[in-house]
Structure 1
Amino acid sequence: MSLGQKLAPHLPFLRRYARALTGSQSHGDNYVRAALEAIVAAPDGFPQDVDARVGLYRTFQAIWNSTHYDEMEGTGGDADREAIAQARLAGITPLSRQALLLTAMEGFTVADTAYLIETSPEEVEALVADAIAEIDRQTRTDVLIIEDEPIIAMDLETIVRDLGHSVSGVAVTRDEAVAQAHAQRPGLVLADIQLADDSSGIDAVKDILAEFSVPVIFITAFPERLLTGERPEPTFLITKPFQRSTVKAAISQALFFNAATIEA
């Protein structure tokens, strides 16, 4: 099997990580593209002592730590998001965010994460603890949940409230979601893709975003379909079945990049 064939199954999930880390689809996908270009340019330099997934993320981490793409992308939305992020970095470092996302969202072990960010397992645990402590002090908001499966909706409600946020409503159809968003403007939306009446959570979110800007996290059993890098796609994505820690990390990271949650 060629190196490209070994890496292909892991690319959607690297895009998920990169988008969550940067708060932007285009910014994150650019980093992934740069990592792939580096591998193509020097395939002999690809890590041989670890499995393909770990080697891919290690290459990405090297690009992330050494390259800044703001100049390539120009100003505008991505630059604004990065400025917002920097404003919140007083108590949480980029390395802390990487450690949290790699463990909670990507499911790497502490040992693998230590290898990826070139530190010790003990330091990884300290970094994650620092990130969680800062997240606990994050600005609270109202969350709209768009989910037609009652058990999953209840679980999401519990996670949201455990983080200190409020639930503005739970909608099971597109029309219901839009109506609830208009009735009480949320600060965050958690949206399933397929809804009860065969309507789409994606369409519901499009309708909501046509009225006002709000960060969105999509929830799907088929993440690869929304992580192709070939069209406008979600920045934040959670895979079903999900772990509570994954949802918490995604919520906190989405709010981290949201200008509306920056404290005055």
Structure 2
Amino acid sequence: MSLKAALGPELPYLRRYARALTGSQSLGDTAVRETLEALLAAPQEFENDKPARRELYRIFHKLWRGMSSVSRDDGIVASLPVHTRQALLLTAVEGFSLQDTAKILHCPIQQVKDEIASAREVISTAMQAQVMIIEDESIIALHIKSIVEDLGHHVTGIARTRDEATELAASHAPELVLADIRLADESSGIDAVVDILAVIDVPVIFITAFPERLLTGERPEPTYLITKPFEPEMVTATIGQALLYHREQRAMPAVVETNRPE
């Protein structure tokens, strides 16, 4: 099997990871494309006797240094640096073991354990938010609500249709939206989110049973995705990254203004 054929099925999930890590579809997809191009140009970097998926993520991290400028010396960002986010996303969202994550990040297993524990603590103590849920299946909606509230967030409400979603967002401006793709009235959660984003600036995490359809890299697609069926750890990690990145971006103008010379 060729290298391209071996890696092809893994690329949608690397896109999911890269988008969540960068907080941007365009930046994440560009990083994945550049990784694949580098691999095709230098296939000897790929260790064929190792698991293909782990090798792909390892080389992605070997090549990518795109967020070294994010770190600051104060606030939440300092408490949850990029390497720590990587450890949490790799284990909780991408499903890698501690051993594989350590190999991907080229660090000791104990460091991975410590960083995951640190990330969970920061998310639970410093990332509380008003969260809106768009989900038409009651059992799933209540499951998500339970996870979100266990993290210390407040759920502003649950919407089952596009109209309900836009009305709920207008009456209780959320700081985060969790949205299913297909809703009760055959409307689209994506359309509901477009309506919401036309009015307020809020991070959105989509929930879908078919992530590959939204990870093609060929058109505008979601930045954050949770795959059904999901584990609480996946929801926790994705919420933490979405809120953190959004708050970082909102804080940037204030940081620039504060540091501007007289």
Pair in the same fold by TM > 0.5: yes
Match of 2:221 among 212, 226, 233: 233
Cα shift at 1:84: 9.2
1:163 is matched with 151
Cα shift at 1:89: 2.3
Over aligned residues, Cα RMSD in angstroms?
A: 2.2
CA contact (8 A) 1:85 1:257 kept: no
1:255 is matched with 243
2:9 is matched with 9
Q: Unpaired segments of 5 or more residues in structure 2?
A: 255-262
Give % identity: 55
2:63 is matched with 63
1:151 is matched with 139
TM, length-normalised to structure 2: 0.91
Cα shift at 1:237: 0.3
Residue 184 of structure 1 pairs with residue 172 of structure 2: yes
Q: Which amino acid aligns with 1:197?
A: D
Residue 214 of structure 1 pairs with residue 214 of structure 2: no
Question: Using the alignment, how far apart are the partners of 2:196 and 2:208 within structure 1?
Answer: 19
Q: Structure 1 pair 83/123, CA: closer, same or farther in 2 (3 Å)?
A: closer
2:258 is matched with none
Q: Which amino acid aligns with 1:120?
A: P
Q: Structure 1 pair 219/248, CA: closer, same or farther in 2 (3 Å)?
A: same
Cα shift at 1:232: 0.9
Question: Using the alignment, how far apart are the partners of 2:74 and 2:2 within structure 1?
Answer: 40
2:23 is matched with 23
Cα shift at 1:37: 1.2
Question: Using the alignment, how far apart are the partners of 1:86 and 1:106 within structure 2?
Answer: 29
Secondary structure of the structure 2 residue equivalent to 1:88: helix
Cα shift at 1:152: 0.5
Partner deviation per Cα, 1:45-69 (whole Å, 9 max, x = no partner): 212231111111111011124xx48
Cα shift at 1:136: 2.0
Number of residue pairs the alignment of both structures matches: 252
2:122 is matched with 134
1:75 is matched with none
Q: Structure 1 pair 52/86, CA: closer, same or farther in 2 (3 Å)?
A: farther
Partner deviation per Cα, 1:107-134 (whole Å, 9 max, x = no partner): 0000100100011222211111111122
Secondary structure of the structure 2 residue equivalent to 1:89: helix
Q: Which amino acid aligns with 2:174?
A: P
Q: Structure 1 pair 69/119, CA: closer, same or farther in 2 (3 Å)?
A: closer
Cα shift at 1:29: 1.0
Match of 1:245 among 205, 226, 233: 233
CA contact (8 A) 1:84 1:257 kept: no
Secondary structure of the structure 1 residue equivalent to 2:178: strand
TM, length-normalised to structure 1: 0.90
Secondary structure of the structure 2 residue equivalent to 1:168: strand
Q: Structure 1 pair 51/11, CA: closer, same or farther in 2 (3 Å)?
A: same
Secondary structure of the structure 1 residue equivalent to 2:145: helix
Partner deviation per Cα, 1:210-232 (whole Å, 9 max, x = no partner): 11111000000000011111111
Q: Relative to structure 2, which stretch is displaced further, 145-154 or 88-97?
A: 88-97
After TM superposition, the runs of 4+ consecutive aligned structure 1 residues lying more than 4 A away are: 82-87
Q: Structure 1 pair 183/19, CA: closer, same or farther in 2 (3 Å)?
A: same
Question: Using the alignment, how far apart are the partners of 2:158 and 2:73 within structure 1?
Answer: 29
Partner deviation per Cα, 1:199-252 (whole Å, 9 max, x = no partner): 000000000011111100000000001111111111100000001100010011
Q: Unpaired segments of 5 or more residues in structure 1?
A: 71-78
CA contact (8 A) 2:71 2:77 kept: no
Q: Structure 1 pair 254/86, CA: closer, same or farther in 2 (3 Å)?
A: farther
Cα shift at 1:87: 6.2
Q: Which amino acid aligns with 2:14?
A: L
Residue 33 of structure 1 pairs with residue 33 of structure 2: yes
